[in-house]
Each structure stands twice: as structure tokens, then as C-alpha cells.
């Protein structure tokens, strides 16, 4: 998932749709994010490449909407509702996720197991 500047980023992504849950005044999604271009990427425990400044899922509230929608800890969020998440600051990412006018977020996430699953399936089904 490391990127080469100037080259398009390619990744295997999964679409996840989370319905926001209303808790009193707030709409919550049930997970926590970390990372951003203004943060220290070396502290990220989930990234493969320690210079990756993307947004990662650091915690999932058990039983929350994110867990129900099959979001997992360690997933890297590539897009939220069409907005790019690979080159944003931490605060911008938070804002895109907590927009009060939307009650559904559609995420594109990537994780290591997806890549491997694709590789395996490619291997067992040779290209036609």
C-alpha cells in the first residue's frame, strides 16, 4: 500500500456501508480513526509501511454499527462517500465522517487479507 509520488495508487478495496446510529444528539459510527498527513506515521501499529499517512481504523466499538457492517480494526480507509482519505489531515477525515447531514457513510477500505485473497484466487484461476 505504499505509494510512489506521481503514480496512481492501486489497491484492492472493499465497499462497506455503515448506518449511523443516533445516540441522543449525536450520530455515531462506532469506531475510532487514527493517522493523517499531519500525524506521525511511525506510531501507526496497523500500517505495513511506516511512512503511510493514511487514515486507519484503530478501534471498533463492540456491537456498534461499524462492527455490524464488518469493518475491522486495522483497515485503511481510502474513501468516504466519494471523498479521498489517503491524503487528508486527521481533522478533515473526522469531519467527513461526522457530517450531521448524512446518516449513511459508504467507505472504501483496504486490508492486507484482501490483497492475499485476490492473489490466491488469481493463482488458482489462471488468467484466461
Partner 1 sequence: DRRDRHRLKNRDGSIRGDKSVMIQAPGEPLLDPESTVVDDRDDNWGETTTVVTGTSVDSISNEDLTRISKDLEDSLPLDCRRYISPVLGAILGLISVITPLAFLALPQLLWRDTLDPCGTPSSYWLFYGVRVLEPQETDYRGIVGYAASLVDALLFIQYLALVLLEVRHLQPAFCLKVVRTADGVSRFYNVGHLSIQRAGVWVLDQYYRDFPVYNPALINLPKSILTKKMSSFKVYNLEEENTNNSTGQSRAMIAAAARRRDNSHNEYYYEEAEVERRIRKRRARLVVAVEEAFTHIKRHQDEETATSSPKHPRELMDPREAAQAIFAPMARAMQKYLRATRQQSYHTMESIINYLQFCITHNMTPKAFLERYLSPGPTLQYLDNNRGCRWTLVSEEPVTAALRQGQVFSLKRLDFALVVKVMPLPFLDLAEEFIDPKSHKFVMKLQSETSV
Identify the residue whose cell numbers are 446510529. 21
Element containing residue 62 per DSSP (H, E): none
Binding residue (CB under 8 A) for partner 1 from 14, 58, 79, 92: 58
- The residue (of 38 and 49) whose beta carbon lies closer to partner 1 is 38
Binding residue (CB under 8 A) for partner 1 from 1, 33, 78, 109: 33
Q: Pick the stretch among 55-63, 68-76, 108-116, 120-128 that binds partner 1 (CB under 8 A).
A: 55-63
8 A C-beta contact, residue 12 and residue 113: no
- The residue (of 53 and 111) whose beta carbon lies closer to partner 1 is 53
Report how far residue 113's alpha carbon sits from residue 67's, in angstroms, rounded to the nearest whole number.
17
DSSP state of 69: T
The reply on whether position 39 binds partner 1 by CB under 8 A is yes
Binding residue (CB under 8 A) for partner 1 from 94, 106, 119, 122: 94
Answer positive or negative: Cα dihedral of 70, 72, 59, 102.
negative
Report how far residue 49's alpha carbon sits from residue 88's, in angstroms, rounded to the nearest whole number.
17
Binding site for partner 1 (CB under 8 A): 28-29, 31-34, 36, 38-40, 43, 58-59, 61, 90, 94, 97-98
Amino acid at each position: 500500500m505504499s505509494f510512489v509520488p506521481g503514480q496512481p495508487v492501486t489497491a484492492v478495496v472493499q465497499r462497506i456501508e455503515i448506518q449511523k446510529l443516533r445516540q441522543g444528539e449525536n450520530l455515531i459510527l462506532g469506531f475510532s480513526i487514527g493517522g493523517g498527513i499531519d500525524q506521525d506515521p511511525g506510531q501507526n501499529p496497523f500500517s505495513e509501511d511506516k511512512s503511510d499517512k493514511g487514515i486507519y481504523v484503530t478501534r471498533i466499538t463492540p456491537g456498534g454499527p461499524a462492527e455490524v457492517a464488518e469493518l475491522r480494526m486495522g483497515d485503511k480507509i481510502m474513501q468516504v462517500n466519494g471523498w479521498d482519505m489517503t491524503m487528508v489531515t486527521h481533522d478533515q477525515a473526522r469531519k467527513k465522517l461526522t457530517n450531521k447531514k448524512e446518516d449513511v457513510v459508504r467507505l472504501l477500505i483496504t486490508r492486507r487479507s484482501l490483497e492475499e485473497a485476490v492473489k490466491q484466487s488469481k493463482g488458482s484461476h489462471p488468467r484466461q
